[in-house]
Amino acid sequence: MKIIWLDTIDSTNSEALRTLSSLEGGTVLAAFEQTAGRGQRGNRWFVQPGKNLTFSVVLKFEEGQFPAAWSFRLNMLCPLVIARFLRSAGVSAKVKWPNDVYVGRRKICGILVENVLGSDGVSAAVLGIGLNVNQTDFPEVSGATSVRLLTGRDLDLNESLEDISGLFDELLPAVFDDDRWASLFAEYESGLFALGIQAQYVDVASGDEFTGVIRGVTEEGRLRMAVGDEIRLYAFKEVSFIL
């Protein structure tokens, strides 16, 4: 992957989407500072300049190479890469479905995958990743943590991004290979936050709170949740965790 560092930009995802036609697949756009970082559900992503990693991995696909039905694979790949990187930094993280990375009950990394659809499947994807590295106070958000807070050590942002890019290079081919994908899928499922334990959730459509047990995910990325004797399948944004 080729890493390009930008000084200040509104959002690396927005910049990647704006300049997509001039970017090669495999480019990583990273910013020292984002002035309008974007999060899930239209939220903002607030972090202090120069302390964390905020970057977007740009992928491009040939016609028909990446069926839209596989798009959840990219949402699984990103937190797996980050969890592996964090493990090498001495931090044991879990994936909170679908793609947040948590340590205990605190969020260390948020991910915003944006796909561009072509005439035959996904033609490009922008994998936006915000990883809290050296920041120690989070006045704008509650429940956040960072590598520094967890280990007491600062990490070099350049080197960390090189390592993360290397992990993308290593794991990305598995997305196109069902056998290799099976083992990453298993790694994703077995590392899920709250897997196999009773916890409280809200069914977004009805507003009902319920006790459920996460059992895993389907191939398309729906959450498999046991509620009493029933197994419910939830799509993204249809259920929320009560932390």
Give min distance, CB of 10 to ligand BTN, in A: 8
Q: Which is nearer to ligand BTN, 13 or 123 (CB)?
A: 13
Give min distance, CB of 74 to ligand BTN, in A: 14
Question: Could you tell me which residues are beta bridge partners of residue 223?
Answer: 217, 234
Rg (the chain; Cα; Å) = 18
Q: Which positions from 61 through 120 interact with ligand BTN, judged by CB under 6 A?
A: 100, 110-112
| Piece in contact with ligand BTN (CB under 6 A), picked from 126-134, 141-149, 174-182, 220-228 | 126-134
Is 130 a binding residue for ligand BTN by CB under 6 A? The answer is: yes
- Three-class SS of residue 112? strand
| Piece in contact with ligand BTN (CB under 6 A), picked from 10-18, 157-165, 186-194, 202-210 | 10-18
Q: Which positions from 131 through 170 interact with ligand BTN, judged by CB under 6 A?
A: none
Give min distance, CB of 131 to ligand BTN, in A: 8
Q: What is the DSSP letter of 174?
A: G
Q: Which is nearer to ligand BTN, 54 or 123 (CB)?
A: 54
Q: What are phi and psi of 27, to 5 degrees?
A: -85, 140
CB-CB contact of 129 with 38 (8 Å): no
Q: Which is nearer to ligand BTN, 34 or 232 (CB)?
A: 34
- Three-class SS of residue 239? strand
* CB atoms closer than 10 angstroms to residue 232: 18
Q: Which is nearer to ligand BTN, 36 or 205 (CB)?
A: 36
Q: Which is nearer to ligand BTN, 128 or 212 (CB)?
A: 128
Size of the site for ligand BTN (CB under 6 A): 20
The rounded distance, in Å, linking the Cα atoms of 171 and 231 is 31
Q: What are phi and psi of 144, to 5 degrees?
A: -110, 155
Q: What is the DSSP letter of 70?
A: G
**Helices (H), ranges, 91-177:** 147-151, 157-171
Query: Residue 16 corresponds to which amino acid?
Result: A
| Piece in contact with ligand BTN (CB under 6 A), picked from 49-57, 162-170, 180-188, 211-219 | 49-57
Contact set with ligand BTN (CB under 6 A): 11-13, 34, 37-40, 43, 45, 54-56, 100, 110-112, 128-130
